[in-house]
C-alpha cells in the first residue's frame, strides 16, 4: 500500500532506477504480456534487502515508451506488492499528453505507488510555460502523488533553466528531480530555494556532496542492478565523511563506479548514448548477472556489436566491484 504523500525529507540515500524485466521473446514486434512479473518481484525485494532507500521505474531504461498500459499496470502492481511499503516506490507515468498522464498517475497511485518519475510530453519541444503548466496540471489533478521531475534534456528537448526550477518548486508535490550532471546544480538548488531534492547519478554524488554536504543527501543509480552494494556503500561512506571530514573512501568508491560506467558510454558521448539507451542498460544489467532484465523491446532492440561489448564489460566490472564490497576486500 502507498503511504501518505511524501515530502522532501523522505528523499534520502541511494535510489535505484530499475529496468522492467522482460520475458524471452519480448523483442518480437507481436509479443504480448512481456513483463516477467516473478523477476520484478524478486528484484524489488532483493534491492530492499540490500538496503536501498527507494526505487524508481518506467523511465527510459524502464521502457516506458514500449510497454502497453496493461503491462505497466501489471509491473507496478507486482513491484508495489513486493515492496510492501518498506521503501518509497515511484512509477513513471510519462505520456504524450497531460490528460493521459493524469489518468496514468491516478492509476499507479491507486495501485500503491508513492509517486511518479515524470518527464515532459515528447512530441513537441515545450516552452517554459508549457513545461511548468504540465507539472502544475498533473499535481493539481493528483494531489496525493509525489512528483520526481525526470530532467533529461536529450529525451525531452527542454533545457531546464533556473526559471523552471524556481516555478515548479512552488508546486508542493514536486519534491525531487532525477538530475544529470552537476555543472548547474548549485544554480538550480538556489533557484528552487532548497524545496527540491536534486538526485545526481551515482558517478556525480561524491562531487555533489562535497559541494553541498548538508543538502545533497540522495542520488540515483541504474548500474545498481548489477550489484546494489556498490551504491549503498557509497551512500554510507559519504555519510561518514560528512562527520569526519575524511572523504578518501567515498572518493575511491565513486571513482571505481565511474570507471565501470565509462565502459558502456559510447565514443560519441551522451547524445550517442541516448540513441541506444535501452539496449545499453539492458545489456549491462544482464551481463552483471544480479538480475535478469531480458531483451529490449522494439523498436529499441538494435545495439551495435562494439557498444554491446562495452556494456557487457561494464556490467561485469560493476558486479566484480559489488562482490568486493560484499566480501570486505574493496578497501583492503
**Calpha distance 292→282 (Å, rounded):** 9
Q: Which of 135, 150, 160, 179 is catalytic?
A: 150
Determine contact, residues 34/222, Cβ cutoff 8 Å. no
Go through 252-276 and write b for each residue having 16 or more CB atoms within 10 A of its CB, e for each that does not. Answer: ebbebbeebbebbbbeeeeeebbbb
Which of 281, 1, 15, 40 minimizes the C-alpha distance to 148? 15
Residue 222 DSSP class: S
**Calpha distance 178→149 (Å, rounded):** 6
Alpha-carbon Rg for the chain, nearest whole angstrom, is 18
178 is catalytic: yes
C-beta neighbour count of 59 within 10 angstroms: 29
Q: Which of 72, 135, 178, 300 is catalytic?
A: 178
Query: Across 106-248, where does the E strand assignment appear?
Result: 115-118, 146-150, 174-178, 197-199, 218-221
150 is catalytic: yes
Q: Which residues are catalytic?
A: 150, 178
Amino acid at each position: 500500500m502507498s503511504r501518505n504523500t511524501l515530502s522532501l525529507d523522505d528523499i534520502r540515500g541511494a535510489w535505484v532506477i530499475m529496468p522492467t524485466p522482460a520475458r524471452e521473446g519480448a523483442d518480437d514486434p507481436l509479443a504480448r504480456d512481456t513483463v516477467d512479473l516473478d523477476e520484478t518481484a524478486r528484484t524489488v525485494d532483493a534491492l530492499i534487502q540490500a538496503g536501498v532507500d527507494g526505487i524508481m521505474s518506467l523511465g527510459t531504461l524502464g521502457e516506458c515508451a514500449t510497454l502497453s498500459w496493461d503491462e505497466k499496470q501489471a509491473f507496478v502492481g507486482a513491484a508495489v506488492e513486493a515492496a510492501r511499503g518498506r521503501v518509497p516506490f515511484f512509477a513513471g507515468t510519462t505520456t504524450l499528453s497531460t490528460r493521459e498522464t493524469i489518468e496514468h498517475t491516478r492509476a499507479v497511485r491507486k495501485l500503491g505507488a508513492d509517486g511518479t518519475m515524470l518527464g515532459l510530453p515528447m512530441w513537441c519541444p515545450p516552452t517554459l510555460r508549457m513545461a511548468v503548466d504540465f507539472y502544475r496540471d498533473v499535481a493539481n489533478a493528483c494531489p496525493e502523488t509525489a512528483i520526481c521531475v525526470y530532467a533529461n534534456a536529450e529525451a525531452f528537448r527542454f533545457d531546464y533553466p533556473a526559471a523552471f526550477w524556481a516555478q515548479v518548486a512552488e508546486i508542493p508535490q514536486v519534491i525531487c528531480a532525477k538530475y544529470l550532471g552537476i555543472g548547474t546544480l548549485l544554480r538550480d538548488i538556489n533557484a528552487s530555494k532548497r524545496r527540491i531534492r536534486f538526485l545526481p547519478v551515482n558517478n556525480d554524488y561524491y562531487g555533489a556532496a562535497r559541494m553541498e554536504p548538508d543538502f545533497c543527501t540522495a542520488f540515483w543509480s541504474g548500474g545498481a542492478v548489477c550489484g546494489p552494494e556498490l551504491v549503498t556503500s557509497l551512500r554510507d561512506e559519504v555519510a561518514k565523511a560528512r562527520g569526519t571530514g575524511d572523504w578518501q573512501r567515498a572518493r575511491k568508491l565513486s571513482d571505481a563506479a565511474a570507471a565501470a560506467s565509462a565502459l558502456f558510454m559510447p565514443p560519441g558521448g551522451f547524445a550517442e548514448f541516448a540513441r541506444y539507451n535501452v539496449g545499453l542498460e539492458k545489456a549491462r544489467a544482464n551481463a552483471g548477472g544480479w538480475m535478469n532484465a531480458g531483451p529490449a523491446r522494439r523498436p529499441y532492440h538494435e545495439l551495435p556489436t562494439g557498444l554491446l561489448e562495452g556494456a557487457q564489460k561494464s556490467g561485469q566490472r560493476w558486479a566484480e566491484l559489488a562482490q568486493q564490497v560484499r566480501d570486505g576486500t574493496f578497501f583492503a
